[in-house]
Amino acid sequence: MTTSPEVSVVIPTYNEREKILSLIDQIGHALGDTALEIVVVDDDSPDGTAGAVEQRAQTDPRIRLIRRRNERGLGAAVCEGFRCAHGRYLAVMDADHSHDPMLLGPLLAELRGGVAIAVGSRRVPGGGAEKWPWFRRQYSDVATRVARLWLNTLLSDPMSGYFMLQRELYESVCGELNPKGYKILLEIVTRGRPASIKELPFIFKDRKQGESKLTLRISLQYFQMLWQLRSYSVPFAWRARPGRRADSLRFARRTLDPDTMSQW
């Protein structure tokens, strides 16, 4: 690119050939004349996702492809994309069209106004899900409640994978991140303690093609991450309330019970 981008949109992919090019077009439309960089981080998809992106990049200098041949994991792919991005503001979204690109403009407006991180949320007024199978909703409800109990987070939707942040915030925590699994937002917020967070409503659309990212292993990695992060955010006042701590631990044990997990 001849001009430094204002925004870098990172899109992790695995087997998204049927979706990625139309998403790139929609991102360009949503951000209009904004100096833009689109960083596709592909985990060596066997369906030819990387080849399709590479071909488009030959005629569109805004597009960059990072192909990870011996690595896997959405969280790690996001971090790799952020590390290689050139934009002042860094955004991440899913490749499967579950995140509406038209929210990128409002997210960007919040960051231009000085907000440290802006998040697309399903759990603020106006947000929600177009189709949300009961087991996915149950998992999200449980994961959100545990995050609030253990980490005292103010995020209404800590499971969100759609957000934009100031580069300085990412750089302040990048050396500490341990991006296992696929939920990197909560780790950035917990470790970085941003001065301001803005959550904007959006409607989550269930993927129509490709494979769901939610597996039992990924779920366990999420709860492991919460446990590791608890020392960063739990205030002394909360620690001094053993009743609440005991309640949260009992809730976590029920949550991680194999019979409950098998229903997800």
pLDDT tens digit string along 14-42? 999 999 999 999 999 999 999 999 999 99
How crowded is residue 152: how many other Cβ atoms within 10 Å of its Cβ? 14
pLDDT attached to residue 248 = 45
More confident residue, 196 or 143: 196
pLDDT attached to residue 29 = 98
Query: Which band of pLDDT confidence, cut at 50, 70 and 90, is reported for residue 1?
Result: low
pLDDT attached to residue 223 = 67
Encoding tokens for residue 90?
A: 């860094």
The candidate with the shortest Cα–Cα distance to 214, out of 137, 111, 147, 152, is 137
The candidate with the shortest Cα–Cα distance to 73, out of 221, 223, 225, is 221
Lowest-confidence segment of 32-46, 185-199, 250-264 by average pLDDT: 250-264
Q: Is the pLDDT of residue 230 over 80?
A: no
Q: Is the pLDDT of residue 93 over 50?
A: yes
How crowded is residue 257: how many other Cβ atoms within 10 Å of its Cβ? 10
Q: Is the pLDDT of residue 99 over 90?
A: yes
* 8 Å CB contact between 115 and 196: yes
Q: Is the pLDDT of residue 185 over 80?
A: yes
Query: Which band of pLDDT confidence, cut at 50, 70 and 90, is reported for residue 264?
Result: very low
